[in-house]
Amino acid sequence: MFSFCADPSALSDARWFACYLTTGKIANFYLSFGTVLLLLAITAPAALAFGFAGATAARSRIAPLRWLGQSYTAIVRGVPDIAFFLFFVIALDQGFEWIRHKIRCPDWSEPIRQGNDFVVCTAAKLPLSTSPQWVHEVYGFFLAVLTFAIVFGAFAANVLYGAMRAVPHAQLETAEAYGMTHRQCFWRILIPQMWVYALPGLSNLWMVLIKATPLLFLLGVEDIVYWARELGGTANPRFTDYPHGDWRMWFFLGLLIFYLGFTRVSELVLQRLMNRLTRGQATSGGERQRKARA
């Protein structure tokens, strides 16, 4: 990076760190912060969508749909995260490959399961074994987002289901008395009012999601905790120009500050959102806002 980095062993501390912190190895660490933030940015709305669909299904008047929504929340919330992550991702990946195998290679005669091996024809591989490394990484990332969305969606579904029931029933009856259809009641009366009841539960989920990202490594995505452990370990002078002792404490301290800062910012944003959602609501918070203005 810098011109003076040619011989790190002869450098003063400040320059040594300037060189060390700009090596390609440490750049992986910086990039992984981006991975985690991107994952959160995509997963949060996706999980909310899963949750909304689950909650709507769970209170549907069509029985099979209701069973589907209720069993989704019950099963996913009941299985330990790690078991779910390990089992589900492999199953999901193999499921995709199996479907592609059936479509693309109908003439294939050998069995797909050969002992321990899962063998599909090469045209069905996901991603294709010829595709470059970044495609593999994007695919892994996509599986991670999907799994996170399904797991956290189940919790969100339960929160939203409760929030929908918390909206005063009189509001819905009044709407129907005015001649609104069922659909209109749902979208115009129930949904706008439910968020204020859902937000405390959803903000809890968001905080848990922020801290759940190290589970990514189970899915083969190299996240910040993986790199902190990897880079913080003792670096032997034979294998690097920047030898150091066991620095894991310092790397993890950095992570601690990152996570605390991130949750603090989240809290501030969620507080503003809560204020906005409370406006004009028939809740004690809404009442307080009304009196403060009056």
The site string for another protein over 65-94 (x = CB under 8 A, - otherwise) reads -------------------------x--xx
CA distance 162 to 34: 34
The site string for another protein over 154-173 (x = CB under 8 A, - otherwise) reads --------------------
Contact with another protein (CB under 8 A): which of 116, 284, 292, 293?
116
Contact with another protein (CB under 8 A): which of 95, 102, 122, 269?
122
User: Would you say 250 and 63 are in contact if contact means Cβ atoms under 8 Å apart?
Assistant: no
CA distance 111 to 93: 18
134 binds another protein (CB under 8 A): no
Q: If residue 228 lies in a helix (H) or strand (E), which one and from where to where?
A: helix 224-232
Main-chain dihedrals φ then ψ at residue 112, nearest 5 degrees: -75, -40
- Give the gyration radius of the chain's Cα atoms: 25
Contacts of 25 (CB under 8 A, 6+ apart): 231
User: Would you say 221 and 144 are in contact if contact means Cβ atoms under 8 Å apart?
Assistant: yes
Closer Cβ to another protein, 81 or 241, answer by number = 241
In the region spanning residues 226 to 245, those forming contacts with another protein, defined by CB under 8 A, are: 229-230, 233-234, 236-243
Closer Cβ to another protein, 108 or 259, answer by number = 108
Closer Cβ to another protein, 236 or 284, answer by number = 236
User: Would you say 200 and 277 are in contact if contact means Cβ atoms under 8 Å apart?
Assistant: no
User: Would you say 273 and 199 are in contact if contact means Cβ atoms under 8 Å apart?
Assistant: yes
Contact with another protein (CB under 8 A): which of 53, 65, 79, 119?
119
Note the residues at the interface with another protein (CB under 8 A).
23-25, 27-28, 90, 93-94, 97, 105, 107-108, 114-123, 125, 128-130, 132-133, 136, 217-218, 220, 222, 229-230, 233-234, 236-243, 246, 248
